[in-house]
Structure 1
Amino acid sequence: MSTWGGPVDVTLTGGRVVTPDGVLDQGWVAVRDGLIAAVGEGAHPDGPTTDLGGGWVVPGFVDIHCHGGGGEAFTSADPDRVSKAANAHRKHGTTTLLASLVSRPIPELAGQVSALSELVRDGVLAGIHLEGPFLSAARCGAHDPAILCPPDRRSIDRLLDAGGGTVKMITVAPELDHGVDAVRHLVDNDVLAAIGHTDATEAQIRPAVEAGASVATHLFNGMRPLHHREPGPIGALLDDERVTVELICDLVHLHPTAVRLAARHAGPNRTVLVTDAIAAAGVGDGVYDVGGLEVRVVDGVPTLAGGASLAGSTLTMDAAFRNAVTSCGLTVVEAVHATATRPARLLGLEHRTGRLEAGLSADVVVLDADLRPREVMSRGAWVKD
C-alpha cells in the first residue's frame, strides 16, 4: 500500500518536461509547498535539486472511470479499503481519481455513495461516477440485468442527495423511459451526463446530446455497434464536437486501430483514456466480485464467470499511456492530453491539476525511456511503497 511522505521543496531537473506549450528537452519543474512554483528550461532556481537523467516528466494522470484496484473495490464502506484501492492506482501515476460504482438497487447504491462521499471530502477521491443502474439490459455487460431500471427523477435525486455534491458523473442509456429528461436533470444539477451501455439508434442519441450529454462511456464497448447504414451511438457520439469519448486503452477492449481512429477523429480536446479497472488491477488473476456477479481474471483479462463478456479491466493509467504511444500511434503530447489535461478540464479541475504549470498542484509522473513510471509525486509529496 502506498504511503505519503510530507511535501518536499525541490526542483526536478534534467528531464523532458511536457508543458501546455510543448516539450522542454532540458526542462525543470520547481516544487514548493505542494504546488508547481515554476517550469522552465536551462538555468533553474536555487535550492535542492533532483536530476531526472533524461526521463519524461508529465502531469499526474486523471482517471474518470475506475472501479477499484489493489484487491479492493470502491463498493466497500471501509475507508481504509477504499484508500487502498486509490493508492494502488496512485503508485502508477493516477493522482486524481473518480470512484466508479456498478449497478445496484437504488437504496444500496445510495449507501455506497454516502460512504464514498466522505473520502471525496477528505481528498482521497475527486468524486463519484455512477455507471448504472440506468442502463440497457440489451447492452448490460457486467451489470446485473435484474437490477437495471429507467432513470426516474426520484431515483436520481436520491443518489445525488446521498452524495451531497460529490457525484460528478452518471452514465445513462438515453433510449430508456425518461432518458433524455434524466440527462437534462443531471446537467441542471452540474453533473456530467454520460451515454453508455446503450442500444440506442443514432436518432435516439441526438436528443440526449442536445439535452447536454457530454461524455461517451467507454466508446465502442457496451453499445450498439457501428454500422454504415445505422451509425448508432458510436457514430453519433464520436462525430459530435460536444462529446468527450472515453477509450479503454488496454488493447483488449479496443484494437489499436480503433483507438487510433477514434483519437484522431475526436482530437486531443475530446479524447480521454480511462482504465475501467476492477479490484484485480495491480493484483493479478483470480476470482472477484463485481456488483454481485462473479468475475474471473485469466491472463489479466476479466470476464463474467461462465461467459465471454468483458467485466472491466486490470489496466492502470501508466499502461494506458504507454499503450497509446507505443501501440496506437499517439504522440507523448497527445497521450498527456488524454490522460491528464482533458479529463481534468472535463471535471472542472483545470485550475488545480492536469498540466505542468505554475500555480497548479505538484502532481507529477516521471517516466523512463520506455514510458514506465520511475517516480510519482502527488500534491508535492513523493508516493512510496
Structure 2
Amino acid sequence: MNAVLVKNAHVYAPEDLGRNDILLVNDKIAALAPDITLPACLEPALLLDAEGRAAVPGFIDAHVHITGGGGEAGFHTQVPPLPLSVPLSGGVTTLGGLLGTDGVTRHVDNVLAKACSLEEEGLSTFIMTGGYPLPSPTITGSVTRDFACVSKVRGGKIAIADHRVAPVSAAQLAALATDVRVGGMLRGIVGMLIIHIGAAPEGLARIFEVIDQCPYLARHLIATHINRSPQAFEQAMLLARRGGFMDVSSGLNSATLGPDTLKPSTAIAVALRSGVPPEQILMSSDGNGSAARYDDQGHVEGLVASDLRTLCAEFRDCVLAEGLSMTQALAPVTSNVARAFSLFPAKGALTAGSDADVLVLDADLRPWSLFAKGRHMLHEGRVLCKGTFEE
C-alpha cells in the first residue's frame, strides 16, 4: 500500500479550504482535514511538508496534440510527439489528446495509442475522435460508435472558419454535434465537441446558427482558440452566455500568432469581469500544436509549436497580473474542465474519494511538487519520472 501525507498546505479544492493536510492512499485521496494523524497501518509513508505553499488539483489540459501537430509547411514541420516530462513540469496530470491539421499521416488510432502510452507512464488521459475535416476520421467508422465502444473517447473535433478545411454548413455541424451527443448518452457521459476556430471573418457564426435551431446542443460545444482575435473573443463570450463553452488557448499569444491575439490571462479576466458565467470558461494549451502565421497568399511565414507549460504560466498571470482569486484562476484548468467532460469529482477537485492528483505550488505559484494518481512525479520543480525513451 502506497501512502503520502501532505502536511500544512493551504488547500484550494479549487475553493479555498484554508490550511489542511491531505492523505493519499494508492491512487485516491483518502482524507482531507486540518490535522491528520497517520494510522499505524499506513506507516511508513512519504511525509511532505507543504508549509507556506498551496495545494491544488492537478491541472487538466483538454487540448493537447499528443502525437504532434503541424505539418503545414512540409513533413519537416511536423511537431514531435509529446514527452512525459513536459506535462509534469507544467503541473498537468490529465490530458485530452486530439488531431491537428494533419489527419492523413496521423490518425485517431495514433492518438489513442499515444494516450494509452502516457497513461502507462503515469498520467490520466482521454481523447477526441475526429479532426479538422468532414467526414470525421474515426477509429470504428462512426463518431457515435467511437464514443460507445472506445472508453477513452470523450469528445469530438472539427475545424470551422479556417482555410485548411472546406466550409462547414450549420446542418453539417449540427449533425456532428448530435452524433457526439448521442454517443455520449450511450456511454452515460456528456459528449463534447471541440470546435477549432480559424481566422476567417465568419468566426463562430455557424455555431450560433446551430444553437438557434437546437439550443440543447450548446452544452456540448467548446469553441477553442477564441483569444486569436477580438472578434472571436466577443463571439465566444456570447456563446458562453448561451450555454456553450469558451476555451482560451494558453499557447496562443501575440508572439506566437500575431498582434491581434489576446493574452490568455487577460482574456479570462475580461470574460469574468464582463459577467460571463464562470463555469463556462475553460483554458487549454493547444500543446504541441502548430501556431502558424500565413501571408495573404496562404504561405506560412511563421511557425512555432505551442508549449503545454503555458497553461500554468497563464494561470499564474491570472492571479499575479490580473488580480483574480486563486479559485477564479484555477477553475478554468481544473473543475470547469472536469465538469465539462464528465470527470468531476474524480478529477478537478481535492476531496476524499477524488483521484490523488495533487499539485503543490511554491510561493510564486510555480509547480513545486506533483502527484499523479498518487505517484510522486515532480519535486522541488524537478521531474522525477521521465518517459520510456527520454534521456
The TM-score with structure 2 as length reference comes to: 0.71
Q: Structure 1 residues 160, 99: closer, same or farther in 2, change over 3 A?
A: farther
User: In the TM superposition, what is the alpha-carbon distance from 1:159 to its structure 2 partner?
Assistant: 9.1
Q: Which shifted more, 85-94 or 95-104?
A: 85-94
Q: Which amino acid aligns with 1:247?
A: V
CA distance in 1, matches of 2:341, 2:118: 14
The amino acid of 2:127's aligned partner reads I
| Contact 1:119–1:125 (8 Å) recurs in 2 | no
Ranges in structure 2 where 5+ consecutive residues have no aligned partner: 71-79, 161-167, 185-190, 254-260, 378-383, 386-391
Question: How far is the alpha carbon of 1:108 from its aligned partner?
Answer: 5.0
Contact 1:217 1:245 in 2 (8 A): yes
Name 1:157's counterpart in structure 2: 142
Task: Name the counterpart of 2:27.
Answer: 34
**Residue 334 of structure 1 aligns with which residue?**
328
Listed one character per residue, the Cα deviations across residues 48-95 of structure 1 (whole Å, up to 9, x for unaligned) are: 532112111111111101114xxx7279xxxxx85x524420232111
1:170-201 residue CA offsets vs partner (Å, 9 max, x unmatched): 23336365221111111111131233326342
Cα 1:328–1:101 shift into 2, 3 Å: farther
Q: Give the structure 2 partner of residue 273 of structure 1.
A: 283
Matched, 1:244 2:245: yes
Amino acid paired to 2:32: V
Give the residue type in structure 2 aligned to 1:238: A
**Separation in structure 2 between the aligned mates of residue 224 and residue 18 of structure 1, nearest angstrom:** 32
What residue identity is the alignment partner of 1:342? Answer: N
Could you report, residue by residue, the CA deviation over 1:133-171 in whole angstroms, capped at 9, with x for unpaired residues?
Answer: 23xxxxxxxxxxxxxx46599997179549834332223
> Contact 1:273–1:320 (CA<8 Å) still a contact in 2?
no
Contact kept, 8 Å, 2:347 with 2:357, in 1: the verdict is yes
What does residue 73 of structure 1 align with?
68
Query: Counterpart of 1:225 in 2: which secondary structure?
Result: helix
Looking at structure 2, the residues matched to 224 and 251 of structure 1 have their Cα atoms a distance apart, in angstroms, of 13
CA–CA distance in structure 1, aligned partners of residues 34 and 245 of structure 2? 33
Q: Supply the distance in 2 between the matched residues of 1:125 and 1:304 (Cα, whole angstroms).
A: 35
Residue by residue over 1:295-351, the C-alpha shift from the partner in whole angstroms, topping out at 9 and shown as x without a partner, is 7xxxxxx65696467766224132232122122332111222221111112221114
Aligned length: 331
**1:60 alignment counterpart:** 58
Find the counterpart in structure 1 of residue 95 from structure 2: 97
Q: Partner residue of 2:195? A: 195
| Structure 2 match to 1:167 | 153
Give the SS at the match of 1:195: strand
Q: Decide whether aligned partners of structure 1 residues 266 and 378 sit closer, same or farther in structure 2, where only a CA change above 3 A counts.
A: same
Q: Which moved further from structure 2: 39-48 or 152-161?
A: 152-161
The match for 1:132 is: 131
**Counterpart in the other structure of 1:4:** none
My pick for the range that moved more, 57-66 or 311-320, is: 311-320
Superposed counterparts of 1:325-364, under 5 Å: 325-364=319-358
In structure 1, runs of 5+ residues without a counterpart are 1-6, 76-80, 135-148, 280-289, 296-301
- CA shift, 1:223, in A, is 7.7
CA contact (8 A) 1:238 1:262 kept: no
Counterpart position of 2:269: 260
Q: State the Cα distance separating 1:209 from its structure 2 match.
A: 6.0
Aligned to 1:204: 209
- 2:221 aligned residue: 215
Contact 1:249 1:259 in 2 (8 A): no
CA–CA distance in structure 2, aligned partners of residues 131 and 260 of structure 1:
31
What residue number does 1:85 align with?
83
CA distance in 2, matches of 1:108, 1:276: 17
- C-alpha separation in 2, matches of 1:210 and 1:324: 31
Give the letter aligned to residue 237 of structure 1.
L
Is this contact kept in 1: 2:93–2:124, CA < 8 A?
no
Separation (CA, whole Å) in 2 of partners of 1:274 and 1:332: 17
Is 2:6 aligned against 1:12?
yes
Indicate how the Cα distance of structure 1 residues 109 and 315 shifts in structure 2: closer, same or farther if over 3 A, else same.
closer
Q: What percentage of aligned pairs have identical amino acids?
A: 21
TM normalised by structure 1 equals 0.72
C-alpha distance in structure 2 between counterparts of 1:41 and 1:335, whole Å:
24
Aligned with 1:17: secondary structure? strand
Distance 1:222 1:155 in 2: 33
Q: 1-side partners of 2:372 and 2:69: how far apart?
A: 20
TM-fit CA distance, 1:372: 0.6
